[in-house]
Amino acid sequence: MAIRLRQEALKRYYENPKLCKECHCVIPIPEGAKVHQIRQKIFCGHSCSASASNKRRAQPKFCRCGAKISWRQTKCSNCPKLRSEKTLSRVKGEIRKSQLSEHARRVVPKKPCEACGYDKFTEVCHIKPIEDFLDSSRLRDINSPMNLIRLCPNCHWELDHGMLSINRNCGVQEPGSCFGP
């Protein structure tokens, strides 16, 4: 009885067989496999499944601006420049302090402390403090290269507490020793 039911099921299957989605060949029924399990399969084997998966990845991917990018990229090379220009035109009141600091680190290259020459760790410091700028001041003014300097943590503390002064014409000086403009 079971053998006859199996033969009928196989006959019905091969009259209207399930085709592989990749190679379009008939998905064979191995000995002992149930017909309803084979009807649920999409591919005839692992190689066809892998080929189909790789084709999906090979489809073109596009950036938010519409430029075509590789499947590994998240944005095109033009987007950071566009974003940077947009960020530079924002005003202090619209920007978090962490964004100001992050942008300042990108503006000033890594180099030793401009006061003492220490080169193990330096921070980007604002010569004119951020708090002294109006809320309507633009990021390009706050983080202009003329307002930024690289200092070690000790010299940064001294600058913040009035023990060290910066004048771009004379360099780093003790307070009151340079009378430049």
In the chain, % of residues over pLDDT 90:
11
- Tens of pLDDT along 95-104? 788 888 888 8
| Top-confidence residue, 153 or 101 | 153
Task: Quote the pTM value.
Answer: 0.49
Q: Look at residues 42, 11, 4 and name the one whose alpha carbon lies nearest to residue 25.
A: 42
- Tens of pLDDT along 64-73? 667 788 777 7
pLDDT for the residue numbered 154: 94
**Domain definitions of the chain by residue range:** 2-55, 90-173
Asked if 133 and 142 count as a contact pair (C-beta separation under 8 A), the reply is yes
Mean pLDDT check: name the lowest of 27-36, 47-56, 153-162. 47-56
Type and span of the H or E element at 168? none
Sign, CA torsion 111/146/161/101: negative
Asked if 135 and 156 count as a contact pair (C-beta separation under 8 A), the reply is no
pLDDT for the residue numbered 181: 38
